[in-house]
Amino acid sequence: MQTNTWRSIPRSAGLTLTLLLVPGLTWPQEVAPATGHPQFHAVAPRTPQDLQELFKHTAEPLPLVSAHRGGPQKNLPENCLATFENTLRHTFAVLEVDPRYTKDGAIVLHHDPRLERTTTGRGLVADFTLQELKQLRLKDPDGTVTEHQIPTLDEALQWARDKTILILDQKDVPVAARVKKIEEHKAESHAMLIVYSCKEAQARHALNPNIMLEVMISTRAQFDQFDKTGVPWRNIVAFVGHLAAPDAKLCETIHGRGATCIVGTPRHLDRRFLSGEVTDIHVLEPDYRALLQRGADLIETDLPTQLGPVLFGATQAPVSKEWYFRGP
């Protein structure tokens, strides 16, 4: 005979919600928790609408970072599944990655058009088949050869489910091809696309209105241009630039449309740490927090494992969004 069971769910306010679990019934969508993985800081929206709600602007902080190229560090190469896992062991993060075509039409994750900097190979990625590329080994940021292989986009999309959101840059893979891959994996809830123009945003929205975008909106003119496209603001995160001081007024205007803002730090603050100019990330903490105070909701960084715990280690997920976050 089946018996009913009870499950207690911790709430950020210090309360406990106890629910009766009846055999044969499923969680209501409005209270269904992210499944996640116990060893990771998992961000796991279940539907495209969940993903939109996750990035909907509220007055509450969003306690995650965007890991540029996945967050490479010593012995952990960029655009590598092992690196992604390491990042999620330290902090809640979404992962920005770089799809490229192989000679035989597969799509792999690799930032540069050439192989030399990050692999044991030589030449253009597009001149090699997937099988040939899989024979290579990836290098870490110092150039040390590791045991890791170049992953395919298929492998990454499959891996990311119930763990995080992948943000797919363009490189040489056009919007339509990236949309097709997301659809093949039914990954609209855990994959987004970077687009660089309003025309691309409109084209993507026409192909699949459930796929969210990261759109370049760093000026008021770009804001006005996007505002006329007809693409709903709930479908986007606005990238406001690689700026030490983002335009606070622009961020406020974007927030007024219900969208969140992301700012990049690999070209300035991160470099100070990676170059050795600053050896303690806490020294730079006020500069990173200044970005949040000026309206950035999300920071894209080369230092996710260092920066995430410093900025958000004690921060609770907003009550309205806590179902999407599961810690180790």
Question: What CATH code is carried by the domain that includes residue 92?
Answer: 3.20.20.190
Q: Does 3 map to a domain?
A: no
The answer to whether position 7 is within a domain reads no
Residue 40, domain member (yes or no): no
Segments of the chain with pLDDT less than 70: 1-36
Phi and psi for 296 in degrees, rounded to 5?
A: -70, 135
pLDDT at 243: 85
pLDDT value, residue 184 = 98
Question: Does some domain include residue 11?
Answer: no
- Distance, CA of 147 to CA of 155 (rounded, Å): 17
Number of domains making up the chain? 1
Residue 273 lies in a domain: yes
Residue 57 lies in a domain: yes
Residue type, 49: Q
Looking at residue 18, what is its pLDDT?
A: 37
- Residue 265 in any domain: the answer is yes
Q: At residue 17, what are phi and psi to the nearest 5 degrees?
A: -100, 125
Q: How far apart are CA 298 and CA 188, in angstroms?
A: 20
70-81 per-position pLDDT tens digit: 999 999 999 999
* Model pLDDT, residue 294: 96
In angstroms, rounded to a whole number, what is the distance separating the alpha carbons of residues 247 and 123?
Answer: 40
Place of tokens 């993903």: 51
Residue written as tokens 């020294």? 283
Determine the structural domain holding residue 121 and report its residue range.
Answer: 48-326
Q: Which of 225, 149, 228, 238 is nearest to 192 (CA)?
A: 238
| Average pLDDT score, the chain | 90
Over residues 159-198, the pLDDT tens digits come to 999 999 999 999 999 999 999 999 999 999 999 999 999 9
Distance CA 194, CA 171 (A): 10
Residue 12, domain member (yes or no): no
Q: What pLDDT does 39 receive?
A: 87
Q: pLDDT by residue (tens digit) across 284-324?
A: 999 999 999 999 999 999 999 999 999 998 888 888 899 99
